[in-house]
Amino acid sequence: MLRLSLALLLYGFAPYVVSDAYFYINQQQGESVSVFKRSDLTLKTTIPTLKGPAGIAISPHNPWLAITYPEQGMVSFIDSEKHIPLEHISIGGSPFGAVFANKHLFISDWSSNTVKVIQPETGRMIKEIAVGKSPAGIATNACESQVWVLNRESNNLTVIETKQFKVIQNIAVGKAPFALALDERFAYIANSQGNTLSIVDLVNLTEIKRIKVGRMPYGVAVDRKQHKIYVSNQQENTLSVLDSRTHKIIRSLKTGAYPENIAVDEENQHLFVLNWFDGNLSVFDSQTDKEIKRINVGDGSRAFGQFVGKSAECND
Amino acid sequence: MKLSTLFLISFLGISMGANAHGPTPKKADKSIIINAPIDKVWAVIKNFDDISKWHPDVSASTGDGQNQSGSDRRMTLASGELEEGLDYFSDADHEYNYRLKTENTKVFPVSSYTTAIQLIAEGNKTKVKWKSRFYRGDTGNTPTKKLSDEAAIEAMYGFIDNGLQGLKETLEK
């Protein structure tokens, strides 16, 4: 039975920060999400979804996941403690990227060129914000006061403030920006056709640097503890590793075929790389940058977005 | 949050057609063993502009002859012309990567693709690996049959199979 769960009723918007014990990989070629334990990297369970799950968001405040289905015009909420689907919501268009920020779910819809804002407790879409063409990667800053979305076909990004849902600024970056990650000071943007990483200052809202990385950068992750930025280079089966203090490339790591979505588990010192073509997940030790394990996740796996929970460090 | 402000969201019944796969990327992963040493196979396949010399579906091909990142080639198929761009070329690894430069789904029902071709020596024989990641012709949510996932897979697999077979025949004749 799919209905609003008790957990959702009990938690509402809890002020404390939940660090989810799991990470999640969508079976885009199928109809499920695989749930893995962050501690020992084993498969915990599989949650049924609709067909073609692509994007994922994990709420840092409530036991919720959101899953997007670009080909269905749908979004699902999932209970991340009981691992059961809660609701499937029709929002139309091609919902792709997703992020929870300031009590709402923000979705990039790459066919309608908007960011859609959903109120989780009602499942209602309360706002559509016009952005650039083919919005893809979407993320929030530490205090969730802004949402940043990459407009792949406009070669820029849009900064939205999360109280009034107003566009603050558009910022030009490299060619075909696709994925991003933020730390306390900067946003790091993978320009997939520019083969570059744009670094944008969160205060001045200006691009301070554009660094050459590998071919077709498709994923970005930041490890705040290790002071590293990771970029997956889809077309050369590598990761570029940058020092976040110097913004210089410190090494390149070999991955499986077509590395796409990447994420960091800062607590367990793991970096995850989804090797799309191989249908497996490389696990690296984020201190040594050595690959320690490869987990089979199946053909057609995708996890567009922050697929490992991240603790928020808002100092406001 | 007050309980009174919450209300239950009804589950929407969703019917899904058999073809509701949408813009999920597809992959092709094919290979063939050719009874010729790697240098001979590389000599035939390495010139990016010369695909018409070994691929039976390509009647003509032209380019700048540079074999370097940024080089383009135009190939003529029975259905029309396609333009592809070379992204990576390595003599040492016997490998090159390229992508569709300009979408033309009337000629080929795939909206975008990237391809990696690599040779691996297996004694005196050579394994040719051909990998592609691609999207169907219409990435919207209601593609016609001609621009569906099935059409894209059929076209891409056919093109790769014919290419590998043509290369084998060119080298083993």
In this predicted model, what pLDDT tens digit does every residue of A142-151 receive, in sequence order? Answer: 999 999 999 9
Cβ contacts (< 8 Å) between A8 and chain B: which residues? Answer: 6
- What pLDDT score was predicted for residue B17? 29
Residue of A28, A89, A111 with shortest CB distance to B140 = A111
CA distance A121 to chain B (A): 6
Query: What pLDDT does B140 receive?
Result: 84
Asked whether A206 and A200 are in contact (CB, 8 A), the reply is: yes
Interface A-B, measured as beta-carbon pairs within 8 A, has a size of 87
Residue of chain B nearest A53, judged by CA positions:
B24
pTM score, whole prediction: 0.87
Average pLDDT over residues B79-108: 95
Q: Which two tokens stand for residue B146?
A: 């001609």
* B97: nearest CA partner in chain A: A235
**Nearest CB to A215: which of B1, B29, B87?**
B87
Topology (CATH) of A173-308: Methylamine Dehydrogenase; Chain H (2.130.10)
| Per-residue model confidence (pLDDT) at position B13 | 32
Q: State percent of chain A over pLDDT 70.
A: 94
**Average pLDDT rounded to a whole number, residues A152-171:** 97
- pLDDT for the residue B173: 87
Name the least confident of A155-159, A268-272, B9-13. B9-13
Pick from B24, B68, B129 the residue to mutate for testing the A interface (most A CBs within 10 Å): B24
Only one residue has tokens 């320009």, namely A191
Name A252's Cβ contacts closer than 8 Å, sequence gap at least 6.
A214, A238, A239, A240, A241
Q: Is the pLDDT of residue A2 over 60?
A: no
In tens, the pLDDT along A80-131 reads 999 999 999 999 999 999 999 999 999 999 999 999 999 999 999 999 999 9
Read off the pLDDT of residues A48-87 as tens digits, 9 standing for 90 and up.
999 999 999 999 999 999 999 999 999 999 999 999 999 9
> A50, A71, A237: which to substitute to probe chain B, counting the most B Cβ within 10 Å?
A71
CA within 13 Å, CB half, A313: 8
Any chain B CB within 8 A of the CB of A287? no
Is B5 exposed, middle or buried (CB count within 10 Å of its CB: 0-12, 13-18, 19+)? exposed
- Selection from A148, A112, A113 nearest residue A133 by Cα: A113
d(CA A294, CA A84): 27
Averaged over A191-196, what is the pLDDT? 96
Residue of A nearest to B87 (CA): A215
3-class SS shares of chain B: helix, strand, coil, % to 5: 25, 35, 40
Mean pLDDT confidence for A295-315: 90
Domain residues of chain A, as ranges?
Answer: 173-308
At B141 the pLDDT is 83
Is B24 in Cβ contact with A121 (below 8 Å)?
A: no
Residue of B nearest to A299 (CA): B27
Residue B16: pLDDT band with limits 50, 70, 90: very low
pLDDT score for B20: 28
Inter-residue contact B133 to A277 (CB < 8 Å): yes
Instruction: Provide DSSP, B82-136.
Output: EEEEEEEEETTTTEEEEEE-S--TTTSSEEEEEEEEEEEEETTEEEEEEEEEEEE
CB contact under 8 A, A3 and B11: yes
Is A50 in Cβ contact with B8 (below 8 Å)?
no
Residue A310's pLDDT band (boundaries 50, 70, 90)? Answer: confident
Average pLDDT over residues B16-24: 41
ipTM of the complex model? 0.81
Q: Is the pLDDT of residue A37 over 90?
A: yes
What's the pLDDT score for residue B25? 92
The whole-angstrom distance between A268's CA and the closest CA on chain B is 31
- Out of 3.10.580.10, 3.30.870.10, 2.50.20.10, 3.30.530.20, the CATH code matching B25-172 is 3.30.530.20
B14:A50 CB<8 A: yes
**What's the CA angle centered on A276, arms A271 and A282, to 5 degrees?**
30
State pLDDT tens for residues B24-80: 899 999 999 999 999 999 999 999 999 999 999 999 999 999 999 889 999 999 999
Name residue, tokens 């588990």: A265
Work out the average pLDDT over A130-134. 97
Residue A19, pLDDT score: 65
Quick one: pLDDT at residue A281? 98
Under an 8 Å CB criterion, which residues of B touch A? 1, 3, 5-9, 11-12, 14, 16, 20-25, 27, 29, 87-88, 97, 114, 116, 131, 133, 140-141
Q: What is the mean pLDDT of residues B82-107?
A: 94
